[in-house]
Chains A and B, each alone.
Chain A
């Protein structure tokens, strides 16, 4: 399976993602410059963390107009699996490819720490290899990860099972302390209605080996392989 990692001006998690796929998954992976418009030959796309365009105006607001994003939208329409991590999640909400928005953390502090998230649904390409209810330990590093959506959108997300990752404690219990940014409903990650696009604030690509503090992230990244095999088998 061929992975693509998009690099915007200001991305800083692109190399983490490239290394995670190369060393953690041992799959072919290539960086995609933000001016690229041809995504042929890629089986899935990662939108990495960082501060694309300096987070000017709003995090992700300018990146959504980068030339590559039109091709990413096309890729999504065809059902291609897309994962947005941290700034990547912000870009996807700004682009309207995922509902809601990400606001400055409730604490107004930049939070760089390990958190726990519970995987609520395994029916996305990015959770296909994880049992529902599994608690993952993943790092976060963001100043603007407070998930917000209007009450109607929020209710629809919950009804449709589009909340994929939720902040919990290590045992999978929801608690105010476990939510690092005051996200509504403790939401850490969601998917679109078609379920091929997933965005989350934690960094699975920064947890691909115990040598860097944890390897739970590999479960997220490798899920797409299982999903891919299932898709091929189903053809």
Chain B
């Protein structure tokens, strides 16, 4: 579900052993849930002449900055956050990527 890539100069080990991460979370409606917003966007694209467009589904992109000692810890915490708040499991599914952050990187 998650994949780690690295960004910037990696002086990310802080004095307390915590590393900093950014989670890029993608929340989308489950395939069985009708998405009128996606349909409206699709119709708009068709109106602009993009006849090659088959389907459009709209979702949310959420960025979360967090600290965790290991990637697996960050992944575990993010999964909890997604299950509890960021996505509603009744209607939505999610995936996220973890990107390790340099310590001086602006949020």
Contacts and interface: CB of A to CB of B under 8 A. Distances in A.
B47 interface: no
A57 interface: yes
Contacts of A106: 34, 36
B36 A148 contact: no
Contacts of A65: 85
Given A57-B85, A61-B85, A107 B90 contact: no
B32 interface: yes
Interface residues of B, number: 12
B37 A108 contact: yes
A61 B88 CA distance: 8
A92 to B, nearest CB: 13
A93 B86 CA distance: 15
Secondary structure of the A side of the interface?
A: loop
Interface in B16-57: 32-34, 36-37, 40
A101 B90 contact: yes
Contacts of A159: none
A57 B36 contact: no
Contact of A148 (B37, B60, B91): B91
A12 to B, nearest CB: 23
Nearest to B32: A150
Interface residues of A, number: 19
A148 B36 CA distance: 13
Nearest to B33: A148
Contacts of B90: 93, 99-101, 148-150
Given A93-B90, A108-B37, 9 more contacts: A99-B90, A100-B90, A101-B88, A103-B91, A104-B37, A106-B34, A108-B36, A108-B40, A148-B91
Interface of B: 32-34, 36-37, 40, 60, 85-86, 88, 90-91
Interface of A: 57-58, 61, 65, 93-94, 99-101, 103-108, 148-150, 182
24 contacts: A57-B85, A58-B88, A61-B85, A61-B88, A93-B90, A94-B88, A99-B90, A101-B88, A101-B91, A103-B34, A103-B91, A104-B36, A104-B37, A105-B36, A106-B34, A107-B36, A108-B37, A108-B40, A148-B33, A148-B90, A148-B91, A150-B32, A150-B90, A182-B36
